[in-house]
């Protein structure tokens, strides 16, 4: 399996992005925006028009770019619909930060996702995990993690808190 598009994505969509940093969910869009990530970055949420001056897309279908990675932070009830949209758009990797799968007894939904992933070739990261960290591509799940270069060790925190 080629992991190039996971660790060095040319474009990332964050489904469930929000301008509200205190919403209780991981603010992946803000982390990526402030990490120095240079690829296409697309916030997706039908409830908002913009986040910090960036256009927010109502769905994955509305994004005018091919996507390598989609980060999903939506409620469990729309996870399958979101994954199907990612598959239909040819997304290579989908990271589910969303929780509530087999760890809470929702084995059927998790099984459906795995079966669709196996049929489609879209790969799943997670569910319910922090996500990808690649210092070279500036893909990060945290404001606090920063290295000057790969292998140099973590330096002091950067970004907003």
Tens of pLDDT, residue by residue over 51-109, are: 888 999 999 999 999 999 999 988 889 999 999 999 999 999 999 887 788 888 888 98
Per-residue pLDDT reduced to its tens digit, 124-157: 998 877 778 888 888 877 655 555 555 555 544 4
> Can you give the pTM of this predicted structure?
0.84
Determine contact, residues 83/116, Cβ cutoff 8 Å. Answer: yes
Contact 10, 38 (CB under 8 A): no
Q: What is the pLDDT of residue 160?
A: 42
CA distance 140 to 88: 26
Domain 4-125, classified CATH 3.40.50.720, yes or no? yes
């Amino acid at each position: 399996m080629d992991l190039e598009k996971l660790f060095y994505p040319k474009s990332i969509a964050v489904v469930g992005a929000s301008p509200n940093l205190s919403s209780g969910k991981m603010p992946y869009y803000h982390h990526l925006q402030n990490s120095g990530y240079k690829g296409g970055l697309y916030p997706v949420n039908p409830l908002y028009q913009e986040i910090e001056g960036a256009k927010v897309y109502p769905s994955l279908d509305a994004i005018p770019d091919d996507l390598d990675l989609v980060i999903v932070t939506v409620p469990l009830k729309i996870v399958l619909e979101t994954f199907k949209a990612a598959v239909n758009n040819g997304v290579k990797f989908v990271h589910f930060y969303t929780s509530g799968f087999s760890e809470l007894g929702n084995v059927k939904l998790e099984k459906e996702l795995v079966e669709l992933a196996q049929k489609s070739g879209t790969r799943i990261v997670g569910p319910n995990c922090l996500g990808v960290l690649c210092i070279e591509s500036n893909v990060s799940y945290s404001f606090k993690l920063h290295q000057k270069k790969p292998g140099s060790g973590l330096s002091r925190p950067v970004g907003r808190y």
